[in-house]
Chains A and B, each alone.
Chain A
Amino acid sequence: MAPAQKSEYRGYVHQMQKTLMVNWYERLGESALKGWPPAVCLMVSGNCIELLQAFDVLPIYPEVNALQLAIRHQSLEPIVAAEEIGYASDNCAYVKADIGAYLKGITPTGNKMPTAALILCNFVGCNTYLKWFEHVSAFTGAPMYVLDVPFLRYDKPTADDITYVVKQLKELVGLLEGITHTKFDYDRFKQAVQYSAEVESLWSEIKHLSKHSPSPFDAYFDAITLMGPLYVYRASSVGVDFFRAALQELKERVANGQGVYDEERFRIVVEGPPPYPHFKTFRDMFAKWRACTVASTYSTVGGLWEFGFRHDPENPFESVALHMIENNVTNRNYLQRYAQIERYADEWKADGVIIHFVKSCRLFSAGQGDMRDYFTKVLKRPTLYIESDLEDPRYFSEAQIRNRMDAFFESLEHQKTMANVAGE
Chain B
Amino acid sequence: MNPDNGIDLAGILGQAATMAQDVTFQSVRGWKAQHENAKAIGYFPVYTPVELIHAAGALPVGLNGAGDQLDIQHADARFGSFICSIVKTTMELALTGHLEPLDGMLFHSICDSARNLCFVYKRHFAENLYVDFLHLPHNPSSVASQEFLVSEYRRLKKNLENLTNRTVTDQDIRLAIKVYNENRRALSDLYRYRQEEPHMLPTAELYVLQRAGNFMPVEEHTQWLKAVRQALPNRPMKRRDSIRVVVEGSFCEQPPIGFIKILEGAGCYVVDDDFLLGKRWFTEDVPIGDDPIHDLAESYVQRSVYSSVRHDWRKPRFLGLVEKVKAGKADAVVFCLAKFCEPAFFDYVLFKRELEKEGIPHLLIEFEEKMFTFDRARTEIETFVESLLFE
A: which residues have CB within 8 A of B?
85-88, 90-92, 95, 123, 125-128, 130-131, 134-135, 137-138, 144-148, 150-151, 153, 158, 160-161, 163-164, 167-168, 171, 333-335, 338, 357, 359, 361-363, 365-370, 373-374, 387
Q: Which residue of chain B is the closest to A82 with respect to CB atoms?
A: B349
B: which residues have CB within 8 A of A?
76-83, 87, 109-113, 115-120, 122-123, 132-135, 137-139, 141-145, 147-148, 151-152, 155, 311, 313, 316, 340, 342-343, 345-350, 352-353
Q: Which residue of chain A is the closest to B138 with respect to CB atoms?
A: A148
Q: Which residue of chain B is the closest to A130 with respect to CB atoms?
A: B311
- What residues of B have a CB within 8 angstroms of the CB of A123 in the complex? 138-139, 311
A362 touching B80, Cβ below 8 Å: no
A359 touching B313, Cβ below 8 Å: no
Q: Which residue of chain B is the closest to A172 with respect to CB atoms?
A: B142
21 contacts between A and B (CB under 8 A): A87-B349, A91-B345, A95-B346, A123-B139, A125-B112, A127-B109, A127-B343, A135-B349, A135-B350, A146-B138, A146-B311, A147-B139, A151-B133, A158-B155, A163-B147, A335-B119, A367-B116, A367-B117, A369-B77, A387-B80, A387-B81
Tell me the number of A-to-B contacts counted with CB atoms below 8 Å.
162
B144 touching A127, Cβ below 8 Å: no
In the docked arrangement, what's the CA distance between A1 and B118, Å?
Answer: 44
- What residues of B have a CB within 8 angstroms of the CB of A161 in the complex? 148
Q: Which residue of chain A is the closest to B311 with respect to CB atoms?
A: A130
- Beyond the given pairs A148-B145, A369-B79, 7 more chain A to chain B contacts, judged by CB atoms under 8 angstroms and listed by A's residue number, are A92-B342, A134-B350, A145-B141, A153-B133, A163-B147, A167-B144, A333-B115
B138 touching A160, Cβ below 8 Å: no
- 7 closest Cβ contacts across the A-B interface? A334-B119, A160-B151, A167-B144, A148-B139, A131-B346, A362-B112, A164-B148
Determine how close the nearest CB of chain B comes to the CB of A143; give it in whole angstroms: 9
A370 touching B78, Cβ below 8 Å: yes
- What residues of B have a CB within 8 angstroms of the CB of A85 in the complex? 349, 353
- What residues of B have a CB within 8 angstroms of the CB of A167 in the complex? 142-144
Determine how close the nearest CB of chain B comes to the CB of A142; give it in whole angstroms: 11
Q: Is the interface of B mostly helix, strand, loop or mixed?
A: helix
In the docked arrangement, what's the CA distance between A365 and B84, Å?
Answer: 12
Selected from B123, B143, B313, B353, the residue in CB contact (under 8 A) with A144 is: B313
In the docked arrangement, what's the CA distance between A162 and B27, Å?
Answer: 42
In the docked arrangement, what's the CA distance between A145 and B316, Å?
Answer: 13
A168 touching B346, Cβ below 8 Å: no
Q: Which residue of chain B is the closest to A95 with respect to CB atoms?
A: B346
B139 touching A366, Cβ below 8 Å: no
A363 touching B82, Cβ below 8 Å: no
Q: Which residue of chain A is the closest to B80 with respect to CB atoms?
A: A369
Selected from B145, B313, B348, the residue in CB contact (under 8 A) with A86 is: B348
Q: Which residue among A91, A359, A369, A373 has the maximum number of chain B CB atoms within 10 Å of its CB? A: A369
B353 touching A359, Cβ below 8 Å: no
In the docked arrangement, what's the CA distance between A361 and B135, Å?
Answer: 20
Q: Which residue of chain A is the closest to B350 with respect to CB atoms?
A: A138
B346 touching A135, Cβ below 8 Å: yes
